[in-house]
A = this chain, B = another copy of it.
Amino acid sequence: MAAVLPLADLRQQGRPGTWLNTIIKGDCVAALEALPDRSVDAIFADPPYNLQLGGTLHRPDQSLVDAVDDEWDQFASFQAYDAFTRAWLLACRRVLKPNGTIWVIGSYHNIFRVGAMLQDLNFWLLNDIVWRKTNPMPNFKGRRFQNAHETMIWASRDAKAKSYTFNYEALKASNDDVQMRSDWLFPICSGGERLKGEDGKKVHPTQKPEALLARVIMASTKPGDVILDPFFGTGTTGAVAKRLGRNFVGIEREQDYIDAASERIAAVEPLGKAELTVMTGKKAEPRVAFNTLVESGLVKPGQVLTDDKRRWSAIIRADGTLAAGGDAGSIHRLGAKVQGLDACNGWTFWHYEDGKSLRPIDNLRAVIRNGLAKLD
């Protein structure tokens, strides 16, 4: 069983890390305030939606729709909901690391208030993501469009935080090599994944699918990161985080949910290191100066480089700069200069002769990075 940590205990010990991979039992804001500053890498929050249901709803066959009418989803007014939202978002902001990001999921009942509050509290919106449901509940009365999606907001702690985690290359590779869009298609949580009590009834009214959390976590965290879920419920965030080699912290008030989550997470087997390795792009690779190619003999002073269509050419000088016409400079500056542009990636612009064909000098950088033998 995943450990459960009563809030009172957390307050007393205060030792760093005792709360890692536990479910803190207590009020959301109070629990957040007992956690240290800047201690989590990412937050996933599925707050109450503030559904405004006017009575009961029946299906066309007269069966009763089991609506979300729990006490925790009742707010007296938008004002009350805003105050609640402000409180938990502020508390989240404090425990978030400067380069951390937060996800909040909601429906049209609450997401506009959440989004506006995020902006008011100086979070910086990165994307709004649409979860399109393959199997949404129909609109039984035929008075509106079928409510077939929910919205997630992804935001960084503030506008200046540029180095948040975003595993762009991995997402692209997993998406047929085109960049991941802001609309995601997943089934709702059902079947074996849906937690049911001994009475056969669902334990939690709004359990989210693990696939959704898996994409969120794979996209915006690294293995070993700490992911906080202030409305833990039955622990989907914790289960997926554990499986994906991340740490979690959950906060939850209801003992029934804690029991279900605890048992559920205990049964999760984490993936191995190899499976968790994230595909990275060139951004993650160590820098190699062009001069290194000259020094290692992969290119030689006096050798001629051209662009891929041989429109421009330049000569390599012994100091690792290029010269063309009266101009000289780095591979980047000279590439920009000859084309009349402000900037240019010299590694992909300049090519060398390899037999009959032209190859970008970027290929030679790869030789250095991989520690391969010199070519000559």
User: Which residues of A come within 8 Å of B, CB atoms?
Assistant: 58, 60, 62, 78, 107-109, 111-116, 118-120, 125-130, 132, 136, 138-139, 142-149, 151, 153-154, 166, 168-169, 171-172, 179-183, 219, 281, 283, 339, 341-345
Contact = CB atoms under 8 A, between A and B. Distances in A.
A59 B112 CA distance: 32
B127 A181 contact: no
A179 B142 contact: yes
Given A78-B119, A108-B153, A345-B60, A147 B113 contact: no
Given A60-B345, A143-B166, A148 B108 contact: no
B127 A145 contact: yes
A130 B149 contact: yes
A125 B283 CA distance: 43
B109 A112 contact: no
5 shortest interchain CB distances as A-B pairs: A112-B115, A148-B181, A108-B128, A142-B168, A116-B116
Contacts of A136: 181
A144 B126 contact: yes
A115 B108 contact: yes
B112 A62 contact: no
Contacts of A119: 78, 112-113
Given A113-B116, A127-B144, 5 more contacts: A62-B342, A62-B343, A112-B115, A115-B115, A142-B283
29 contacts: A58-B343, A62-B339, A62-B342, A62-B343, A108-B115, A108-B128, A111-B128, A112-B112, A112-B114, A112-B115, A112-B118, A115-B115, A116-B116, A127-B147, A128-B151, A130-B149, A139-B179, A142-B172, A142-B179, A145-B179, A145-B180, A146-B180, A147-B182, A148-B181, A148-B182, A148-B183, A149-B182, A149-B183, A183-B183
A132 B195 CA distance: 32
B116 A143 contact: no
Contacts of A181: 136, 145-146, 148-149
A293 to B, nearest CB: 22
A197 B307 CA distance: 35
A112 B125 CA distance: 11
A193 to B, nearest CB: 23
A139 B166 CA distance: 13
